[in-house]
Amino acid sequence: MKYNFDKRVDRRENNSAKWDEMGKNFGNNELLPMWIADMDFETAPEILDEMKNKLEQKIFGYVSRSDSYYQSAIEWSKNRYNYDIDFNTIIHSPGVIPTISIVLKHFTKNTDKIMIQTPVYPPFAGTIKNSDRILVENKLIQDSNANWVIDFEDFEAKAKDENLKWFILCNPHNPVGRIWKKEELKKIADICLKYDLRVISDEIWRDIVFKGHEFTAFASLSKEVEDITITCFSATKTFNLAGLQASFAVFPRKVELELFEAKLASLDIKRNNVFSLVAIEAAFNKGEDWLNELLEYLEGNIDLVVEYVQKNIPELKITKSEGTYLVWLDFRELNLSNEEISKALIEEGKIALNEGSSFGDVGSGFARMNIACPRYMVQDAIERVGKVVKSLRK
């Protein structure tokens, strides 16, 4: 490999949330951190070089975005996903969740219902509740092979409610790791069009897709679907740039784009920071080789976890993720409470995982593991989980 993903990087000296907030979140700051979804890899040197060039200027005033910033994102989307974004519909945002928050607070009413598919990224539910909107859950279900699928009968039954106005799609899905197939997305689209349901499509994980699977941008299905969809994406998850807080949103309806832009301006968060501007553009223009090697390495990490669980921890159930760098571990056969599982992982395993119930009650009995780190950490992590399960057997 051209890039070294096995390199050990000590992040305890750089104000890392992943490493330094375990005390606040888990009661112990000396755990192996496999929770919050960022990477323990250095980002692509091609990106770092552009950031160093900016640093060498030694001036960090307000920055102005050129068209090339947006064009880099447009070309990336077109070349990798055949998603052709109109330049006049794309806008910078500080993040996906801020985008969703602004849309819910200013595009909806407090009598509106908003639907999500649980188990799902916790800030979806939190943002809906904080916006004083009504949360509706379309709970994912497991088929006979333990694969997570959409309950379309329930989805349509809830879409019929005239007070249900928006649906937040997570594709690829965090935490279950599904890449929704085009036919699944078409079924969602048909229901949304039938019942006049608007869609926010969170596609921040779209670049982390493994062999044999293909990402489809929801808005690319048709012009009719594009018109009802606000799409959110970023380079930050892909290239480990989350701390730079930059994303894109696509608003096909001009009046909505202008309203969104006005709300950003009113909060004085309309501009990039000086480093995100160059880092995002460099990521899309120069980061593809790094990403391709990253995907190979991440899939190797996931394979390691799946094989170890199947061979050594029969009580756990695991389905290989199709995308993301997250593993969704099923502890339900242990017949223990979420609190008992979490306590054992923290106190006996000395490992920090995200408790499944935080993603919705359908996640009860699960835990999410982040495997975007050097392989020695992944090996250590799954062995710690095995040690905990062995202890719980007794």
Domains and CATH numbers, the chain: 17-44+289-393 (3.90.1150.10), 62-286 (3.40.640.10)
Alpha-carbon dihedral 322, 327, 330, 334, rounded to 10 degrees: 150
Instruction: Give the residue among 286, 223, 285, 273 at the shortest CA–CA distance from 92.
Output: 273
Are 118 and 356 in contact by the 8 Å Cβ rule? The answer is no
Helix, strand, coil percent content, the chain, rounded in steps of 5:
50, 15, 40
Computed over its alpha carbons, how large is the radius of gyration of the chain? 21
The Cα–Cα gap between 394 and 392 comes to 5
Peptide bond into 98 cis (omega under 30): no
* Residue type for position 340: E
* Residue type for position 175: P
Instruction: Give the residue among 361, 377, 359, 337 at the shortest CA–CA distance from 175.
Output: 359
Residues of the chain scoring pLDDT < 70: 394
For residue 85, the tally of other CB atoms under 10 A from its CB is 25
For residue 19, the tally of other CB atoms under 10 A from its CB is 19
Q: Give kind and range of the element (H or E) at residue 116.
A: strand 113-116
Residue-level pLDDT at 288: 98
pLDDT 10s digits, 231-248: 999 999 999 999 999 999
Using alpha carbons only, give the angle 91, 94, 100 rounded to the nearest 5 degrees. 80
In the block, which residue shows the tokens 């596609």? 203
Residue percentage of the chain with pLDDT more than 70: 100
pLDDT 10s digits, 175-211: 999 999 999 999 999 999 999 999 999 999 999 999 9
| Mean pLDDT for the chain overall | 97
Instruction: Give the residue among 319, 350, 348, 321 at the shortest CA–CA distance from 336.
Output: 348
- Those residues with Cβ within 8 angstroms of residue 122's Cβ, 6 or more apart along the chain or in another chain: 358, 359
The Cα–Cα gap between 50 and 47 comes to 5
CA of 326: how far to CAs of 13, 322, 323, in Å?
25, 10, 8
Q: Give kind and range of the element (H or E) at residue 310.
A: helix 288-312
Residue-level pLDDT at 320: 96
Q: Is the dihedral of CA 204, 207, 209, 215 positive or negative?
A: positive
Q: What is the pTM of this model?
A: 0.97
In the block, which residue shows the tokens 């998603």? 83
Spacing of C-alpha 45 from chain mean position: 23
